[in-house]
């Protein structure tokens, strides 16, 4: 497969996707200032390599919340993979598991979490247990939310990633222009079917798995995180933390890890690039919980910059979707291979023996003068 980098997979994906669906995947909120900022901010950070360290070939593996990862790159949750490829989340799960990469499976997946887990198990090397986490939009109906959590637990998910940047849906003008507000006939949010509860928006049939049933509620609060902590033993990761006070509150509320994220620029436009927020969040949590980061990670060098600024691992959203659309399971595998090879090369060139070896001394700004 002749894809030189993640960008070439986006081009390939764009060529095969329905333009309306491409816009859904690529787009962001309003003027898409944050979408652009996420990538641009990485380009403003320079790397200054150390030399003659005899570091040998780097080992790329890392561990987050007890999950062993073959590299510090995970798959962020992205909804509706069936829009990208008929094999959908099944293909994504196989590619991630085969690569030893943690997949954060979206609550709004178009394949049920049990089937995603089964595919991951089939693909994991040597029968190892694959690393699968579950992303949750807490629904105001707690009975319904609990039923989803139980499904994720029973399927073998090892952490709950609670998305907290979505008290409402961001304004996606591309989707408005395209009049794209529903999944096509035959596609459903398979995790939402046939669950108990009354809190789903009533569309005249509670168990349909229809995306319009999902409630993004401004009433969700720290009390819901405390409630989740009571009903589940799984580690809780908050996804969408950008303010240092919230990072502190998360630690005080017993959250296990934070995912520094602006939802890939799809929620509040003009939020700053995540890589620019990472240092202030790292300062706030003082190493008390692991930090993850997503938003604009497209190169192995981006991963190193995030590690140097305090992340334990990074995650990608759109790149996996581009791989899936371009070539199904093989395309997602190619994206992961590219990032692995780039990270290996960049660590070697920086004189680092492992991700844990990366420190802020490697960083500068691209604009001089430098000290």
Ligand X SMILES: CCCCCCC(=O)C(=O)O
Ligand Y SMILES: Cc1cc2nc3c(=O)[nH]c(=O)nc-3n(C[C@H](O)[C@H](O)[C@H](O)COP(=O)(O)O)c2cc1C
Position 72 contacts ligand Y (CB under 6 A): no
Binding mask 159-178 for ligand X (x = CB under 6 A): ----------x---------
72-131: contacts with ligand X (CB under 6 A)? 79, 108
* 79 annotated binding-site participant: yes
Using CA atoms, how far apart are residues 212 and 208, in angstroms rounded to an integer?
A: 10
Q: Is 104 helix (H, G, I), strand (E, B) or coil?
A: strand
Using CA atoms, how far apart are residues 175 and 20, in angstroms rounded to an integer?
A: 8
Beta bridge partners of 103: 75, 132
Using CA atoms, how far apart are residues 308 and 92, in angstroms rounded to an integer?
A: 28
Q: Count Cα atoms within 13 angstroms, Cβ side, for 28.
A: 22
Residue with the shortest CB distance to ligand Y: 317
Name the binder of 22 from ligand X, ligand Y, none, CB < 5-8 A by kind.
none
Position 266 contacts ligand X (CB under 6 A): yes
Which member of 21, 172, 263, 370 is catalytic? 263
Name the binder of 169 from ligand Y, ligand X, none, CB < 5-8 A by kind.
ligand X
In the set 34, 62, 70, 76, which binds ligand Y (CB under 6 A)?
A: 76
> Do the bridges between strand 67-69 and strand 62-64 make them parallel or antiparallel, or are there none, so unpaired?
antiparallel
Answer whether 18's CB lies under 8 Å from 175's CB.
Answer: no
Neighbours of 230 (CB within 10 A): 8
213-242: contacts with ligand X (CB under 6 A)? 214, 216
Binding mask 170-189 for ligand Y (x = CB under 6 A): --------------------
Query: Of 155 and 352, which has the nearer Cβ to ligand Y?
Result: 155
In the set 85, 239, 277, 305, which binds ligand Y (CB under 6 A)?
A: 239
Q: Is 191 helix (H, G, I), strand (E, B) or coil?
A: helix
As measured in angstroms, the least distance from the Cβ of 175 to ligand X is: 9
CA distances from 80 to 291, 352, 368 (A): 26, 38, 43
As measured in angstroms, the least distance from the Cβ of 26 to ligand Y is: 7
Say which residues have a Cβ less than 8 Å from residue 321's Cβ, sequence separation at least 6. 13, 25, 78, 81, 84
Sign, Cα dihedral of 142, 144, 150, 152: negative
> Do the bridges between strand 132-136 and strand 160-163 make them parallel or antiparallel, or are there none, so unpaired?
parallel
Assess whether 81 carries a catalytic annotation.
no
Binding mask 251-270 for ligand Y (x = CB under 6 A): ----------x-xx-x----
Position 297 contacts ligand Y (CB under 6 A): yes
Using CA atoms, how far apart are residues 207 and 220, in angstroms rounded to an integer?
A: 23
As measured in angstroms, the least distance from the Cβ of 137 to ligand X is: 7
Name the binder of 260 from ligand X, ligand Y, none, CB < 5-8 A by kind.
none
How many Å separate Cα 224 from the centre of its chain? 22
* 82 annotated binding-site participant: no
As measured in angstroms, the least distance from the Cβ of 177 to ligand X is: 16
Query: Of 108 and 350, which has the nearer Cβ to ligand X?
Result: 108
Position 20 contacts ligand X (CB under 6 A): no
Beta bridge partners of 74: 315
Answer whether 244's CB lies under 8 Å from 283's CB.
Answer: yes
**Known catalytic residues?**
263
Which residues bind to ligand Y, rule: CB under 6 A? 25, 38, 76-79, 106, 108, 135, 163, 239, 261, 263-264, 266, 294-297, 316-318, 321
Binding residues for glyoxylate: 24, 137, 263, 266
Which residues bind to ligand X, rule: CB under 6 A? 79, 108, 169, 211, 214, 216, 263, 266
């Amino acid at each position: 497969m002749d894809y030189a980098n993640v960008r070439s997979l986006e081009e390939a994906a764009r060529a095969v996707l329905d333009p309306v669906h491409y816009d859904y995947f690529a787009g962001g909120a309003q003027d898409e200032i944050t979408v652009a900022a996420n990538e641009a901010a990485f380009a403003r950070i320079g790397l200054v390599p150390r030399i003659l360290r005899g570091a040998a070939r780097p080992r790329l593996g890392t561990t987050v919340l007890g999950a062993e990862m073959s590299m510090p790159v995970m798959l962020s949750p992205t909804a509706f993979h069936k829009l990208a490829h008929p094999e959908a989340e099944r293909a994504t799960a196989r590619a991630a598991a085969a690569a030893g990469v943690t997949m954060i499976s979206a609550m709004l997946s178009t394949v049920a979490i049990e089937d995603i887990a089964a595919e991951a198990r089939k693909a994991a090397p040597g029968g190892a247990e694959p690393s699968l986490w579950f992303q949750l939009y807490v629904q105001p109906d707690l009975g319904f939310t609990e039923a989803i959590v139980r499904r994720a637990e029973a399927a073998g998910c090892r952490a709950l990633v609670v998305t907290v940047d979505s008290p409402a849906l961001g304004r996606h003008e591309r989707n408005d222009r395209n009049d794209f507000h529903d999944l096509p006939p035959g596609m459903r949010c398979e995790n939402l079917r046939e669950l108990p509860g009354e809190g789903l928006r009533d569309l005249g049939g509670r168990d349909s798995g229809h995306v319009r049933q999902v409630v993004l509620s401004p009433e969700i609060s720290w009390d819901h995180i405390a409630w989740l902590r009571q009903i589940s033993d799984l580690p809780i990761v908050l996804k969408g933390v950008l303010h240092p006070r919230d990072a502190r509150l998360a630690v005080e509320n017993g959250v296990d890890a934070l995912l520094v994220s602006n939802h890939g620029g799809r929620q509040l436009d003009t939020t700053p690039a995540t890589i620019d927020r990472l240092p202030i969040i790292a300062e706030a949590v003082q190493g008390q919980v692991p930090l993850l980061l997503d938003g604009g990670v497209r190169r192995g060098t981006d991963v190193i910059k995030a590690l140097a600024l305090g992340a334990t691992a990074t995650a990608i959203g759109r790149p996996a979707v581009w791989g899936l659309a371009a070539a199904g399971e093989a395309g997602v595998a190619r994206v992961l291979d590219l990032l692995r090879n780039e990270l290996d090369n960049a660590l070697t060139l920086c004189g680092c023996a492992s991700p844990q070896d990366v420190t802020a001394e490697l960083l500068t700004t691209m604009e001089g003068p430098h000290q």
